[in-house]
Amino acid sequence: MPKPTNDEWGKAHTDDVCALLRLTPRLQCIADRVPEGARIADVGTDHGYLPAYLLQSGRVACAIASDINAAPLARAKRTAAKYGVAERMDFRLCAGLDGILRAEADTVVIAGMGGETIVSILDAAAWDWRGVTLLLQPMTKAELLRRWLTGHGFRIAAERLVRDRGTVYAVLTVTAGASAPLTNAEAWCGVGLLHDPLYREYALARVKKLERAAAGLRQAKDLDSAQLAALEADAAALKECVKEWEDANGTGH
């Protein structure tokens, strides 16, 4: 067989090498928290960008990409093919963790869903969570998720904030374990975030949300004064946290 010319070698090489996948800041923040060498399950993977990146970069040993819907799973398969990791990614069409065994993964990512959906997925899973790292990134109702976790045998080991397209999101690293009950401010604004540069922005967005809910209650026909007082107290507690953050970070006025 004739030897390929230099040009032919170059072409074969570029055809074989797939482009490197670049993640959005939100997904990159999650990827950076995945333990090196993890066996990961990405529940609700949609495009499959996260597991594809983790396999491509060599950060994980193997990856399961799962979704409850066929169309997103088909997208994940296309992503895996495009970025050259299809052989190493396992695809599961299933609700939550229904089609994934505990023995298959030591790290579970559930990201880009509402806090209530994340709770329902965890609640439905008959897993022994010891030794599992959970990376959770709620789009809404983070306070509900934090309260549920600490009331159901989970510990929020760390949180990190990330800004993506103008919104600040929290990424929670969670393990099995006992946990002290959260303060209302921790439930709303996260655990151990007082040194995070985005904390002020995140907390003020939560204050706004609470104040909007309080304004809605004040206009209701049957004023629920206990609920209103609770919302106002939570908003006041968060404002105190913002002051604490400003003092700690030298930005107080």
Q: What does the binding site for ligand SAM look like in residue numbers (CB under 6 A)? A: 27, 43-46, 67-69, 72, 95-96, 111-113, 117, 121
Residue closer to ligand SAM (CB basis): 28 or 249? 28
CB of 62 to ligand SAM, least distance (A): 18
CB of 36 to ligand SAM, least distance (A): 21
CB 143 within 8 A of CB 182: no
Q: Which amino acid would we find at residue 140?
A: T
Residue found under tokens 């990190």: 160
Residue closer to ligand SAM (CB basis): 96 or 115? 96
Quote the CA–CA distance of 238 and 197 in Å, as a whole number.
Answer: 16
* Backbone conformation region of residue 33, classed left if phi is above 0, alpha if psi is from -120 to 50, else beta: alpha
CB of 73 to ligand SAM, least distance (A): 8
Phi, psi of 61 (to 5 degrees): -80, -35
For 112, the enclosing helix (H) or strand (E) is strand 107-113
Residue closer to ligand SAM (CB basis): 72 or 190? 72
Biggest alpha carbon distance in the chain? 87
Residue closer to ligand SAM (CB basis): 45 or 133? 45
CB of 10 to ligand SAM, least distance (A): 36
